[in-house]
Amino acid sequence: MGIVDFTNPEACEWYNSHLKRLLDMGVDSFKTDFGERIPTDVVYYDNSDPVKMHNYYSYLYNKVVFELLEEQLGVGEAALFARSSTAGGQQFPIHWGGDCDATYESMAESLRGGLSLGLSGFGYWSHDIGGFESTAPADLYKRWAAFGLLSSHSRLHGSKSYRVPWIYDEESVDVIRFFTKLKCSLMPYLYNEAFRSSKLGIPMMRAMLLEYPSDPSCDYLDRQYMLGESLLVAPVFSENGVVSYYLPNGSWTNYLTNEVIEGGKWIKEHHDYMSLPLFARPNSIIAVGDTDTKPDYDYAEQVELHVFQITSSATSIIRNQNGEEEFTVMIEKSETALKVRFNQVPTKPWSMILRGMDSVSSAEGLFIERTTFGVKLSPGKKVQEFTIQL
């Protein structure tokens, strides 16, 4: 390692000159590895206290690189993959959990650490799928893939072997494909949650107590999390596929199977590799894209608005890739109807699926059809508001 004195402006300029060459070649981002093995028996250019600089060094390190990316690529286009950080480093995302072991224990510890990081104001967090040290058995790799692809950012990375799925077994390829497609299809929802994180500092992967501060059962949960405000994820941390998780009060919908489970209790169940507890919160609208082969596409084009267990009201915002609002949809429930309103008339095709509903009495101006997941409504013409009679 070569340790650069980032308190010296000339050293910063020298360092950035090397990074600029890479940017000119087409590099989009940098992984700012290390930053924590900083000696204290040194003299800094600006005479900073070496002991206090041990933590602050990571701030300066990431700041120099992040600001170069903003300068070269534009504000809003800069992203690091940072390992070390300290107070203030939240403004230089993204961060990942460092060198975890390829064990179930380390997988669970990674989640605990990530939730703690989120409670410290870090909006995005990632980890090495399969564990960094050693090589995970195929079983662990597949379980970690589901967890990793339901994180804010996802990557396959390790020290002892190449982490591509076909090295493990054919089923690993299927698992990676399944959860990659799932994540890509959820991008309209995830992108809006990422936008909110960037503006409010609320983490995308958040400890349950952030969403349910009045439920004491959520205070110490560290083996499950909310991915945004509407999806609950409980990774499988066992070789036998058994997982225990807690659902707060309300009617929760299994996103994958459509099963509705009443919350306010602990649940224990078995999952195969193509599944894990993934639940939609009641009173949620989750926007689902029409593309599952890449993460960057037009999120408003042919978007499906999946509506889950409305008992009062729900809102969802659809944004384009520049973070600009395309439209907001709001639903309010009365005793016999759902009142749907857009803040402006959507200019692109959309549809709505009422999850778990077999039928509705009427929906004026919309086509009604039954699907596996519930009643699907499609507009026959451009509409700004309508009523669904239940």
Q: Could you list the active site residues? A: 33, 36, 99
Would you say 243 and 278 are in contact if contact means Cβ atoms under 8 Å apart? no
**Cα(321)–Cα(367) distance, rounded to whole angstroms?**
29
* The residue to which tokens 């066992």 are assigned: 238
CA diameter of the chain: 76
Compute and round to an integer the Cα radius of gyration of the chain.
23
Within 210-336, strands assigned E span 225-227, 231-233, 242-247, 251-254, 260-262, 265-270, 278-280, 284-288, 303-308, 313-319, 325-333
Q: What b/e sequence results for 5-16 when a residue is b if at least 16 CB atoms lie within 10 Å of its CB, and e otherwise?
A: bbbeeeebeebb
- Give the closest residue to 98 by CA, choosing from 122, 81, 115, 119: 81
**Can you say whether residue 35 is alpha, beta or left, with left for phi > 0 and alpha for psi between -120 and 50 degrees?**
left
CB atoms within 10 A of CB 44: 14
